[in-house]
Each structure stands twice: as structure tokens, then as C-alpha cells.
Amino acid sequence: MAITVTMPRLSDTMEEGTLVKWHVGVGDDVSAGDHVADVETDKATMELQAFDDGKVARLAVDEGGTVPVGDLILVLAESGESVDDAAKADAGSGGASGGDEKMKADESRDKKEGEQTQESAASGQAAVAEDADVRRTQKQAGASGGRVRVSPLARKIAEEKDLDLTQIKGSGPDGRIIKRDVLKAADGKDDAAAPSAGGESKKTAAPAPAPAVGGADLEARSVSLSGMRKTIAKRLVESKTTIPHFTVTVSVNMDPLMELRKTLNAQLESQGVKLSVNDFITRAAALACVQHPMVNASWNGDTIEIAGTVNVGIAVALPEERGGGLVVPVLRDVQNQGLRSISEQTRKLAKKARETGLSADEMGGGTFTISNLGMYGVDHFEAIINPPQSAILAVGGAIKKPVVRDDQIVIGHEMTATLSADHRVIDGAIAAEYLNTLKQMIENPAGLLV
């Protein structure tokens, strides 16, 4: 009997998911625990794992398709069952989901995608518009002999500029066409409209106005929000309007840490290990939380919940081809980990977040968060608390500048660290004491090695 797989609820607030990429094809063998697809939820792009053994009989959702939680997305053939029989059985009976599951899934998917394409229109009009858009893309794909992988934003821009998607080469994951590919093609099209050597023009157009002196032309456009971006916006507004934020900042002498890091990396180079400044800060922040547990706590209405371990979230910005936005992978039990372990886990999770997406477990359970914009040249900023946590540490860069050392003006490295705190949980004195402890640990980094 065919095994049906439906869109799972990968977060507590998820109502629908977008099938970003399939990692299996029809006829492939699948084992329980295999990574079969990447799904974009309202919070992040996550891995979808199989829970049964079988052979792929049908992929019920195309890449880029959005379906509600509970709708059919994949059909597997059981051991001893042919792929064709499983696919036919599911098409005829709806598998374990009911007689008309396929039809319901398709109708629901069309409705949801229509709402995303034209949110301001009535649901019926949106569904019609999206259906027409799908048919156009399918027609183009048929002309080229294959599926056109294209992001929603790139498709919209291509339609506005009357570009043929089948003639555009994608630079995104697996050749997916993204915004920059369409804009590049549009520039080429404009160039082609210029007069030829014979004096003729392929396309008659009014001359473009000269740009303003000292400036550049900008293109007015509307950018559709992904489910992740909508959730980020909702949570940030909720955080700023419901949590009484206050901030405290200290300046840290980074010279000792920079020297220690340089020495350690020279010794570890042959082992392929390279410690970052953020690795030291993460360990120092976790150890400081042990000394000041209120910073590692959360507000729970009638109680303050102090965590029994320090699980540090590291804010990671996603590239444009993965929809942009911000995710926060979590390093667990950091107070008991050394610098090498922290470094390895941070790099692994950040790479996975940017390339394939994180699982719900890899983003859950954080008790404290670090946001570091120092690599962008930022020297100071204030971060917004990630509820239900009560604090977040904003870290600037280790800036080389004139500083005072032993009553002398010298050149040294200084870094600002700003703690945003929930005043319901953390008093000003507690925040100041935490930052002083953090400052002492970073300025005496040898203690972070033990």
C-alpha cells in the first residue's frame, strides 16, 4: 500500500510551507531519516526527513510550490510494491489521506499560491492569476524541454520586463533563476535595442533622461515578503512593544585577545583550525551567564525561569538566493565547551543555515543570543531581544584606533559590547555586573582556555 507524506508542521506557528528543493527523484530508494527535501516555513528553511522506508513513486509538489500543512507532497511505494502501482493507487484513491486528497491538495495549493501572488485581490482572482502564471511558466519549460526553476521575485521582474525565462541562465542553487540573473538579462536586452552598425535600431524607445549629477537612477518596485520575513517582522514588533528594553554598553580592550588568537591559530593551522574573535566572545558570554544567571533567564508572567544550561544562539544572515532574512542556530551547553568545539559547531551550523537550511531542533532551545556585526565594520549597535529570552549581546568590531593605556595615548584594538535586556527580569545593576565580568574575561583571555 502506498505511503503518503504530507506537509509537516515544522514550527509552532507554521500554517503552510514552500517546497524549496527536492533531494530525491521518482524511483529513488528512501530510508527513514533521509533528507528528502528543503521546506521554507514561516521561520526558516528546514530539512524535511522521511519517517518510512520506501521508493519514491510521485513528487506531488513542484519545487517552489506552497501548500498548507497536512497536504500531500510525496508518495512512497512500500517494499514489494511497484512505483507505478503506488502512484496510480494514490492518484485513484488518495492513499491514506482519503479519496480526493490529491484534488484537495492541488486546489488548496493553487489557492494559497494565488494569495501570495496577489494578496490585495479577492481569493478567486488571485487563484486565476497564479494559475495563468503557472501555465506560462510550464509553457516556457515545455519549449526548452525541462522545468524552469525561478524565484517568485525573479519571475515577477521577468514578466514586467517581458523577458523569456527559458533564455536566462540561473546562478542560484541548482541553476535556479534569481533576481540578479533577470536584471542582468534585462540590461543585455536594453543594450540589444541600441542602433546597429547599419544605423537601424532593433527597438524604438525614447532616450533615457540623464542621471542627476553625483547620483544614480533607482528602480521603484515592490518586493513580496517570504513567510520567514513576515514572521521576523511580527516577532520584532512584538518584542519591541511588549518587552521593556534597556541597553548597557562597555568598551573592551581587545589587544590581549588578538595576540592570543594569533598565537593559537598559528599553532592550529596544520590541523585546519582557525578560531574567530566571535568564538572567544561566545565562550566568555556563556561563562559570564553562569556567574550572572538572571541574564540567562526568561519572563513567564508570574515567574522568572532561570535556565539550567547556557544555549547560545548565533545570529546568521542568509544570502539573497535563500530569501535573505535572519536565522539563529543554537549552540547547546556552551559553558562546558572549549573554543575548538564552539568554533567547529558555529561554522557547521552557519554553513548549513546558508546552504541547505536548519532543522527545528537546531534553532530551538536558545537561552541567550549574540549578534555580531563587527565583520561589516560596525563599531556599535543595539540588538532587539529574541523572546522568550531576556537578553541579547550586540558585538561591534575590534577597531584599531588611538586609545589610552597606562595614561598614555597609544594605538590599540577596542570593541564595544552592548547588552539589550528585559527590565522585568534584569535590573540595571545586574546588566552592568554581567558586562564587567564579560569585559574582564575578554581582556584576560587565557582564562577562556581552561
Q: What is the pLDDT of residues 340-380, one digit of tens each?
A: 999 999 999 999 988 878 887 898 899 999 999 998 999 99
3-state secondary structure of 258: helix
Angle between helices 277-291 and 339-355 (to 10 degrees): 110
Top pLDDT among 46 and 329 is at: 329
Q: Confidence band (pLDDT; 50, 70, 90) for 14?
A: confident
Model confidence at 388: pLDDT above 70 = yes
More confident: 274 or 196: 274
**Residue 423 appears among annotated catalytic residues:** yes
Give the range among 42-56, 72-86, 148-162, 295-309 with minimum mean pLDDT.
Answer: 148-162
Say which range, 116-125, 207-216, 275-284, 301-310, has the weakest mean pLDDT: 116-125
Instruction: Look at the alpha carbons of 407, 256, 418, 432 in this order and tell me if their dihedral is positive or negative.
Output: negative
DSSP state letters, 277-291: HHHHHHHHHHHHHHH
Domain range 3-115, its CATH number among 3.30.390.50, 3.40.50.300, 2.40.50.100, 3.20.20.70: 2.40.50.100
The most confident of 149-158, 281-290, 398-407, by mean pLDDT: 281-290
| Confidence at 95, pLDDT banded by 50, 70, 90 | very low
Q: Would you state the pLDDT for residue 198? A: 45
User: What does each C-alpha distance from 265 to 112, 300, 301, 433 come to in angstroms?
Assistant: 51, 43, 46, 31
Tell me what pLDDT residue 103 has: 43
Length of the chain as a residue count: 450
Whether residue 3 has pLDDT greater than 60: yes
Checking if the pLDDT of 84 tops 70, the result is yes
Q: What is the pLDDT of residues 258-270, one digit of tens each?
A: 999 999 999 999 9
Check pLDDT > 70 for residue 442. yes
Q: So where are the chain's domains?
A: 3-115, 148-195, 227-449
pLDDT reported for residue 154: 78
**pLDDT value for 206:** 52
d(CA 144, CA 150): 14
Classify domain 148-195 at the CATH topology level.
Dihydrolipoamide Transferase (4.10.320)
Query: What's the whole-number mean pLDDT along residues 321-332?
Result: 82
Please report the DSSP string for 402-426 in residue order. Answer: EEEETTEEEEEEEEEEEEEEETTT-
What is the mean predicted confidence (pLDDT) over 59-81?
A: 88
pLDDT at 259: 97
227-449 homologous superfamily: Chloramphenicol acetyltransferase-like domain (3.30.559.10)
* Confidence band of 323 (pLDDT split at 50, 70, 90): low
Residues of the chain above pLDDT 70, percent = 78
**Alpha helices for 198-254 (secondary structure H):** 227-242
Which segment of 152-161, 204-213, 239-248 scores lowest on mean pLDDT?
204-213
pLDDT digits (tens, 9 = 90+) for 168-201: 888 775 677 887 888 888 887 655 555 444 444 4
Q: Give the contacts of 330 (CB within 8 A, at least 6 positions apart).
A: 311, 312, 313, 314, 362, 363, 364, 365, 366
Tell me the per-residue pLDDT of 409-419, one tens digit each, with 9 for 90 and over. 999 999 999 99
pLDDT score recorded for residue 216: 67
pLDDT of res. 222: 85
For residues 27-52, average pLDDT: 84
Contact 327, 349 (CB under 8 A): no
For 16-33, give one letter per residue: b (16+ CB within 10 A) or e.
bbbbbbbebeeeeebeee
- Burial of residue 431 (CB within 10 Å: 0-12, 13-18, 19+) is buried
Q: What is the mean pLDDT of residues 229-247?
A: 90
The residue from 23, 35, 380, 423 that is catalytic is 423
The SS3 assignment for 305 reads strand
